[in-house]
Structure 1
């Protein structure tokens, strides 16, 4: 249906209602098999390990519930705008992150940067999943192995080795009281801490068995002095990593047709476990202290601290996975008229609520553990690996039926991680399939090759010093380089391609009245304001503060040597080089061909929807020389296309409305 102003109005709801999902709309690339496939895959990608082990810690660190104020503001003004931009871009073009930038070809380097980020993160992220698989296998026993320490892998200060003793008791045994550090020992073997205050001043304290189990038995970190001392490969970790890559390969070997079904389990199962764990957590002694610490420790003065705002923004990027390329890759398998705006809001808000909900689960257990250890919540609260593999396992062994809770928790971690890993690997494979379509004919072979390569590159992470390498990759691979990508995205779409045209691209795709959202005619100005000004300025603020407040990578008390820090910077710079070197190479090639550089900043002939029936819709707001209906078809001459374009103009009520064209 065409309005008098030349705009195409499509009854998207009627079209979507009558869609036969048993057939692919795009037969070459394939589509999701159902409406929920993409939504759950996208939700699973956004909701990851960071929601469980990073967000609750940031709340406690940055003023309790006060942290939600900068978090929500950054979500609205930075996170959601980039999220919607990437979903709409991938869906409109049916292209992955490497080939969707034909709207402004010189910015194709953005896609190169995204692929590099996803590849680097995918390597170490699957190692974390392997750790969770290791723990899951170890949990199938009535006596969890981290209940007590074993001198074969535990350090001298493991809690189960220490005896409550005072100075008189220490001197009354065969042991000697060290008056400088508060330790009671007989040379090499520690008996206890006779003065805990003195010991703490010397950075000595009882170590949880779960911490020694992780560092001594699982990772072998206790036997490494740092990144320069990787040591031998730990074969149990190699097997776990191999299993993790087998799961990823088997899930993605048939593309979205197979992964779209797996996500029904991997995306929903964590919510079931979180609900079960919350119910259990609220029955534990001390849970109230943990919850109060989480939401009632209000420090309003922290809002004046720019570091809090930086933490909120970084968490948004980390949690939503903005600018990593995965959102574009997932959306590229959508049907053309899928409501991308609705899905963006559902996933972004759902991700935010998941983080908030997970905080109650985690802090109820932290409160219980703090009371059991006779300490404070802030003394046991940690971020990252420590929370997932030290604090929670320590709490589990103090509960009845500890084996059940351990199995549930680590299954939740695995499913949380797998969704994100699927999208990371899918980003890389989709980029190659779009750039080299011939690879689609042997998709399963390519997927196996990619998995083997990822496994081999992950082997250094299975060594004794692998944890140091993983921490370095986590710090640099997806850090401020992702912010550079986000800034370039906003400039490319809003300023070079032009929002005036992009809003019409979105209109023909989602219609004027998306489900659950205000009409596009009413809200497009908001997205224009965000993409053209507010969002890139917000990204620049985060980027600038990150440089101002820069500190080298560290792992607990371990400071990386200069060469290790330089290695991390190489990962960051690789992404930046990927962006800007691509621009330079394209300019050189364009000059070598004797063509104008202007062509690199205007849409290429192939820009737009993948199918001619959808490209025809652009005839309502573009002149015939601005796009081609079937640039890949057999009718390769411009005259044939001009005849087709005349048909389009007749189909849409004649020539374009002159007043409408003046907008462009």
Structure 2
């Protein structure tokens, strides 16, 4: 199908809102939904955690998602270009977000490769009787002391190359033929696979004990501020807000797109998948506890340990464990791949806009650089430590800092709070007003600043996970510093071509633009007026 264009812009658009929703939900539904949410919920009050989780979704997740959608849809550009159109002085914020995505993508590809390999290994339980020893030893050959080992693990390297080829080929094509088709195919497959996995898990011995452990509420935790912070953190990270992903994707929406409705569908689809994942994971952990004759809390875990150690242990115990393993690791692979595509799109779109490159050329050039860095760092025996540190710093510092800067800059430095609300209301059925403005530009940034400061104090006060200062300095603090410096360097470069002066869309928005840079045309077209 031919790519459609906006009336006054050369920017591609998604053919239908369904294609956008598949892409947006595919981005939001990632590894964290499967291996992070269940454990976070369990550790923070079980069923009671759903109260702060829902509050966080409604008061921060959805409002900030609408903000990202509004910025991308109104200013119709990659993340750096969108912020430049808000104000030339804000372009560096967009590049900071692109930098965060660069570092997330290079380690995310490694986890996807692990999941792909384990999907095959599930068939005959190749990890043997000791999944933990196999994962750290035979599989990763992990060297946790080396800052950089330069010793490659060839099976991981080869599969990582395959992951990068799939991602680059997908992004090098038209957004509808590439991102649109891949997510429209993989997301339904992922959903079906995971539902089958959950149904199977519910019929395991001990599944009820696992569900009771997860959902039995501990109401006393609601007075604990850390539980609320955990809920907001989970919503923030799982919805792909603050990354620049939704800003970039929204720039491909047609001018007359219902933003509030689109945001609600994306948010609730993501949260529904998280709850589904919680049911499947803890039903399975209940079975593991029953087989080993221990309490659920002795086998409950999250993150990489859950996926590559706990679940292989469970697969060994299960009848038809191989099939269950293929479903689980296949789900991880698909969830990770759809998220990786969205993360890479932020970087590639930014490069294409800045240097006036065709999409194919930008994808091959930027994608190849990222693939090389990714394989050099994360297919080695020191890759696990590098990944763990980089994940911690880019997520808990990089994403949060970028989100705070974006909201404060757009809302307060340039004073565009009312303009953002007007834009949402001009194209959406559900209107926003004072409550949305307060939540987006006052309450959420205040909470994120608290979260950011607390995290920085903790990371300075004690070495993360006991890693050496050299490891933390190189892959943690240095990574954040590189992103910060690069954001100003790229923002200082001139745009090639005149694409940054193009009209942003048609005057259908009906919202006047104020404070344009001198010499730039009205991005909504001449004569655009308030409806």
Shorter-chain TM-score above 0.5: yes
Give the superposition deviation at 1:322. 1.4
Name the CA shift for 1:608/1:303 in 2 (closer, same or farther; >3 Å): farther
Map 1:459-538 → 2, pairs under 5 A: 459-495=376-412, 496-508=414-426, 510-511=427-428, 514=429, 517=430, 520=431, 523-538=432-447
- Per-residue CA deviations over 1:465-494 (Å, capped at 9, x if unaligned) read 211111111111222232222122222222
Name the CA shift for 1:553/1:420 in 2 (closer, same or farther; >3 Å): farther
Unaligned runs of 5+ in 1: 1-19, 149-208, 590-604, 633-640
Residue of 275, 278, 283 corresponding to 2:195: 275
Give the superposition deviation at 1:447. 1.9
Residue of 216, 220, 223 corresponding to 2:137: 216
Structure 1 position 129 matched with structure 2 position 112: yes
Q: Quick check: 542-551 or 333-342, which moved more? A: 542-551
- Per-residue CA deviations over 1:33-56 (Å, capped at 9, x if unaligned) read 222111110001011100110111
**Distance in 2 of aligned mates of 1:624 and 1:476:** 35
Structure 2 equivalent of residue 234 of structure 1: 153
**Distance in 2 of aligned mates of 1:625 and 1:362:** 51
**Distance in 1 of aligned mates of 2:299 and 2:329:** 20
Residue of 478, 483, 487 corresponding to 1:575: 483
SS where residue 268 of structure 1 aligns? helix
Structure 2 equivalent of residue 599 of structure 1: none
* Kept after mapping to 1: 8 A contact 2:67/2:420: no
Give the superposition deviation at 1:629. 9.2
Unaligned runs of 5+ in 2: none
Give the superposition deviation at 1:310. 2.1
TM-score normalised according to structure 2 size: 0.90
* Kept after mapping to 2: 8 A contact 1:79/1:317: yes
**Distance in 1 of aligned mates of 2:157 and 2:275:** 35
Residue of 253, 256, 259 corresponding to 1:340: 259
Give the superposition deviation at 1:548. 4.3
Structure 1 equivalent of residue 238 of structure 2: 319
Residue of 276, 287, 311 corresponding to 1:392: 311
Map 1:349-368 → 2, pairs under 5 A: 349-368=268-287
Larger Rg: 1
Q: Quick check: 228-237 or 470-479, which moved more? A: 228-237
**Distance in 2 of aligned mates of 1:111 and 1:345:** 24
Name the CA shift for 1:553/1:75 in 2 (closer, same or farther; >3 Å): farther
**Distance in 2 of aligned mates of 1:65 and 1:107:** 42
Give the superposition deviation at 1:226. 1.9
* Kept after mapping to 2: 8 A contact 1:103/1:497: no
Q: Quick check: 281-290 or 533-542, which moved more? A: 533-542
Q: Quick check: 113-122 or 395-404, which moved more? A: 395-404
**Distance in 2 of aligned mates of 1:305 and 1:86:** 30
Map 1:365-380 → 2, pairs under 5 A: 365-380=284-299
Aligned positions, number = 520
Give the superposition deviation at 1:280. 0.7
**Distance in 2 of aligned mates of 1:628 and 1:293:** 62
**Distance in 2 of aligned mates of 1:67 and 1:46:** 20
SS where residue 356 of structure 1 aligns? helix
- Per-residue CA deviations over 1:85-116 (Å, capped at 9, x if unaligned) read 11111112220101001222212111011010
Name the CA shift for 1:123/1:22 in 2 (closer, same or farther; >3 Å): closer
**Distance in 2 of aligned mates of 1:139 and 1:393:** 8
Give the superposition deviation at 1:299. 2.4
**Distance in 2 of aligned mates of 1:617 and 1:146:** 57
Name the structure with the higher helix share.
Answer: 2
Structure 1 position 447 matched with structure 2 position 363: yes
**Distance in 1 of aligned mates of 2:517 and 2:378:** 50
TM-score normalised according to structure 1 size: 0.73
- Per-residue CA deviations over 1:438-477 (Å, capped at 9, x if unaligned) read x11xx32332233322221122211112111111111112
Name the CA shift for 1:130/1:436 in 2 (closer, same or farther; >3 Å): same
Name the CA shift for 1:33/1:621 in 2 (closer, same or farther; >3 Å): closer
**Distance in 2 of aligned mates of 1:359 and 1:506:** 33
Give the superposition deviation at 1:608. 9.1
Structure 1 position 111 matched with structure 2 position 102: no
Give the superposition deviation at 1:365. 0.4
